[in-house]
């Protein structure tokens, strides 16, 4: 069972390892990221950043979809991480059982595309025009979509951010 589906450009970091994993009580983390799945170095780094005792898998988006749709995952408490809105939309459209979308930080460190500057959409969300459209499409799926960096902070409706 997916306890938390989070979009955060940093993937596994302190907020995930300490706050979100404890808050959700997960035993597994699935990182869905094509680039990370192809890099042994990035995989090792992400697994080292994960909390002790939590099994961590780094998969391509397609492989993560297959894994998460496997009926054996229903008995597990899983935190799923993606690092961009396009991958989040792909996952939401293809994975059963995502309870809601939690967006943390996006766009501060991601490289800009040529001729597509990013604009601020809140404290920690910076998007170009294509990414804004991906976020709007994510909201249009009907799934609850929120912005919330840590569990202690109030959740903000993404629909209000990307009007």
Averaged pLDDT, 59-84 = 96
Closest alpha carbon to 79 in 28, 152, 146: 28
Q: Which numeric CATH code is attached to 2-161?
A: 3.40.35.10
- Active site (annotated) includes residue 28: no
Give the pLDDT score at 163. 78
The one catalytic residue in 10, 13, 77, 86 is: 13
Q: Which pTM does this prediction carry?
A: 0.95
Mean pLDDT value across residues 50-63? 96
pLDDT in tens, 8-18: 999 999 888 88
What pLDDT score was predicted for residue 5?
98
In whole angstroms, give the CA distance from residue 91 to residue 68.
10
Q: Is the pLDDT of residue 20 over 90?
A: yes
Dihedral pair phi/psi, residue 145, rounded to 5°: -125, 120
Domain segments of the chain as ranges: 2-161
* pLDDT for residue 71 is more than 80: yes
Average pLDDT, the chain: 94
The pLDDT score that the predictor gives to residue 14 is 85
Q: Residue 38: which region, alpha, beta or left (left: phi > 0; alpha: psi -120 to 50)?
A: alpha
């Amino acid at each position: 069972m997916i306890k938390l589906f989070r979009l955060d450009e940093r993937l596994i970091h302190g907020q995930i390892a300490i706050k979100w994993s404890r808050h959700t009580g997960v035993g597994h983390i699935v990182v869905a990221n094509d680039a990370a799945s192809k890099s042994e170095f990035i995989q090792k780094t992400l697994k080292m950043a994960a909390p002790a005792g939590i099994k961590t898998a780094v998969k391509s988006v397609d492989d993560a979809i297959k894994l998460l749709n496997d009926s054996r995952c229903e008995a597990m408490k899983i935190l799923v991480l993606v690092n961009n809105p396009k991958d989040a939309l792909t996952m939401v459209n293809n994975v059963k059982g995502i309870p809601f979308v939690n967006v943390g930080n996006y766009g501060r460190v991601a490289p800009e595309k040529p001729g597509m500057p990013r604009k601020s959409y809140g404290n920690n969300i910076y998007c170009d025009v294509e990414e804004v459209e991906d976020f709007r499409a994510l909201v249009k799926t009907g799934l609850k979509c929120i912005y919330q960096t840590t569990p202690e902070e109030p959740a903000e409706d993404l629909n209000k951010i990307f009007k």
